[in-house]
Amino acid sequence: MSDSQIQSQWERVGGEAAVKAVLDRFYEGVLEEPQLAGFFDNVAVDDIKPHLAEVLKVVLGGPDARTDIDLAEYLTEAHSDLGVSESDYSLTGQVLMDTLKEFDVPADIVETIAGALATVQPFVVAV
């Protein structure tokens, strides 16, 4: 297979349409969790989805993914006033992993996302 034929994980997972479907289901799952739903009381979930989609585009090598984004700063700023606990973060990650399983996302892509979750945890969880 030539370099031009190698697909990014973004393309392999189905691109923007697939990521949108996963995020729609993911946020449904988050809102069904009493421990997590309160984080969204004063927030329109549809306003948050594009931000997570952008992060996933960076993580999975999507086309036109931002190269100027500092994920640590981006995530710290977005979550600094929320008081996210390790338990909240863990549950959110579990909802995401369950959603990826529901959509039959390939194991290597799930591993990439799980690795990204572990890497960014310090920038989301309140100290």
Q: Which one has a higher pLDDT value, 106 or 73?
A: 106
Range of the domain at 89: 3-124
Lowest mean pLDDT among 59-63, 67-71, 79-83, 95-99: 67-71
Residue pLDDT, tens place only, 13-24: 999 999 999 999
pLDDT score recorded for residue 5: 60
Q: Which residue, among 80, 84, 93, 120, has the nearest Cα to 30 in the 3D structure? A: 93
Q: Extract the tokens encoding 118.
A: 């572990």
pLDDT band at 2 (very low <50, low <70, confident <90, very high): very low
Total number of domains constituting the chain: 1
Name the pTM for this structure. Answer: 0.89
**Mean pLDDT rounded to a whole number for the chain:** 91
Q: In this structure, what CATH number is given to the domain that contains residue 44?
A: 1.10.490.10
- On the question of pLDDT at 11 being above 90, the answer is yes
Handedness of CA 93, 55, 16, 31 (dihedral sign): positive
Q: What are the pLDDT digits (tens) for 79-107?
A: 888 999 999 999 999 999 999 999 999 99
Look at residues 65, 58, 68, 66 and name the one whose alpha carbon lies nearest to residue 119.
58
Q: Per-residue pLDDT averaged across 48-55, rounded?
A: 90
Confirm if 39 and 79 have CB atoms less than 8 A apart.
Answer: no
Residue 78: predicted pLDDT: 86
Q: At what angle do helices 15-31 and 86-102 cross, to 10 degrees?
A: 130
Contact indicator for 40, 28 with CB cutoff of 8 Å: no
